[in-house]
């Protein structure tokens, strides 16, 4: 089981049903931040349904959004701080080998199409390094 990189609570697996099949993400039991493994993000390339998944408190998410020096829950290396080029108030952290982390509430700021585009770009950048 993974530990949340921001608050050290344990993360639990959540399965999303998508048109492409099930996708598993890890969600913090405390702050509700979400971790996407790269493989999981790849499975989200197509349309997906997750209206129920981002149930975290946006205020807590905003507070946690200020915590930016966090380490990858898989390998412990410091993650890169990324900024969405269009919606610059949305920041997230990513380990280029393992995946990306979003604070609670950041998710709901996105239209799903935008979110999927971000995943696509993220994976594209990794594959072309």
Selected from 23, 44, 94, 95, the binder of Zn ion by CB under 5 A is 95
**Taking a C-beta distance cutoff of 8 angstroms, is the pair 10, 3 a contact?**
yes
Quote the Cα angle for 54-12-71, to 5°: 85
Residue where the block lists tokens 């952290």: 93
The reply on whether position 38 binds Zn ion by CB under 5 A is no
Selected from 17, 39, 75, 125, the binder of Zn ion by CB under 5 A is 75
Residue where the block lists tokens 């697996």: 13
Q: CB of residue 7 vs Zn ion: minimum separation in angstroms?
A: 3
**Taking a C-beta distance cutoff of 8 angstroms, is the pair 22, 15 a contact?**
yes
Candidates 12-20, 51-59, 67-75, 104-112: pick the segment binding Zn ion (CB under 5 A): 67-75
HSE of 23, CA atoms in CB hemisphere, 13 A: 24
Selected from 14, 18, 30, 87, the binder of Zn ion by CB under 5 A is 30
SS3 93: strand
Selected from 16, 23, 31, 100, the binder of Zn ion by CB under 5 A is 31
d(CA 126, CA 9): 28
Structure tokens at 99: 């995946």
* Comparison of 28 and 43: residue with beta carbon closer to Zn ion: 28
The reply on whether position 97 binds Zn ion by CB under 5 A is yes
The reply on whether position 70 binds Zn ion by CB under 5 A is no
Contacting residues toward Zn ion, per CB under 5 A: 4, 6-7, 9, 28, 30-31, 33, 72, 74-75, 95, 97-98
């Amino acid at each position: 089981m993974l530990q949340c990189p921001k608050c050290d609570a344990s993360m639990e697996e959540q399965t999303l049903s998508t048109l492409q099949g099930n996708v598993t993400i890890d969600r913090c039991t405390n702050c509700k931040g979400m971790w996407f493994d790269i493989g999981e993000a790849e499975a989200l390339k197509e349309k997906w349904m997750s209206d129920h998944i981002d149930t975290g408190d946006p205020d807590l998410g905003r507070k946690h959004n200020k915590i930016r020096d966090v380490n990858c829950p898989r390998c412990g290396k410091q993650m890169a701080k990324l900024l969405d080029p269009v919606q610059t108030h949305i920041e997230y952290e990513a380990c280029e080998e393992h995946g990306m982390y979003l604070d609670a509430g950041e998710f709901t700021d996105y239209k799903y199409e935008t979110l999927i585009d971000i995943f696509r770009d993220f994976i594209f950048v990794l594959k072309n390094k």
